[in-house]
Amino acid sequence: MTTLKRNFSHLGAITNAEGLLNTIKSFLEANDVERSTRIWGIISLFEEKQLEGWSDLPKTLIYHEVFEVFEIISILGHICPKMIVEAISKDHVNELSGKNQKGRNTQFELFIASKYIQAGYNVQFGEPDLFFYHLGNRYNIACKRPQSKNKVLNNIRKASKQISLHDGFGIVALDLTPTSIRNFDWNSDSNNVFESGQDLIWNNFLNSNRRKINELVGKYVSVVHVYGGLNHKVKNNYAYSLFDYALEIKSNRTENDYLHEIINKVQSVHPCRTN
């Protein structure tokens, strides 16, 4: 049995911010999204001279939001527009309150669905959050966005419990962007950004908590796949990196689970680009 690929990074420069925003705005206008909603507020902040004067923490959250929504609209805008509108309209602009936010939770589910769809899988929305079939097997994905570091393991436990109610193989998808960036060593060097992302997500969380995670997931989860976004400067341009690291639960792997193939395909999906 082959070991899962454990790390992959997207490094995307914001070279066409206008095209990116136009894609989002066209979707919002076509679906009559009110100007008072969160997504329009996010766009206004993004357009304020590229957030000059903002500290790096809220700036990263704004960039993360814009890129995630752009990716979702690009892939799913014609498939489930009502679900997208509901997700990006809810919640306040500020994400630093530490409170659970239903709109952004759904938004993360949509983002994960877009990744698997781009990888070639026919994803359906339903319990635990997402699922799809591949070569006769069912794969269940539970998505969580813990709002603080001390809630991450508990979210894995909750996700595993959701997955346990369904037959098939389990994948827990976590977005650690709101928690990991609070501990990021901000540096404009892209190599250091990659190393910091690896430390925050793989070294300091997944690998160091391997034993606890194995205990929490029981016999139902085969992969814990963690995402985290960071923005930084490359020369005179802003860039955005989405890190994702997949921890295999070896005791729950089988010879015919196809998870190595599936996760590698998902990790190999590149972000959508504007022309």
pLDDT at residue number 91 = 84
Cα 173 to Cα 156: distance, rounded to the nearest angstrom: 9
52 pLDDT band (50/70/90 cuts)? low
With tokens 């490359």, the residue in question is: 234
150 pLDDT band (50/70/90 cuts)? confident
Q: Is the pLDDT of residue 233 over 70?
A: no
- 146 by Cβ neighbours in 10 Å (0-12 / 13-18 / 19+) ranks as buried
- Reported as a single tens digit per residue, the pLDDT across 76-122 is 999 999 999 999 998 888 776 666 788 999 999 999 999 999 999 99
Cβ(232)–Cβ(267) below 8 Å: no
With tokens 């814009």, the residue in question is: 66
pTM of the model: 0.90
Least confident of 72-76, 148-152, 228-232: 228-232
Cα 234 to Cα 24: distance, rounded to the nearest angstrom: 25
pLDDT at residue number 239 = 67
Q: What is the mean pLDDT of residues 206-213?
A: 90
17 pLDDT band (50/70/90 cuts)? confident
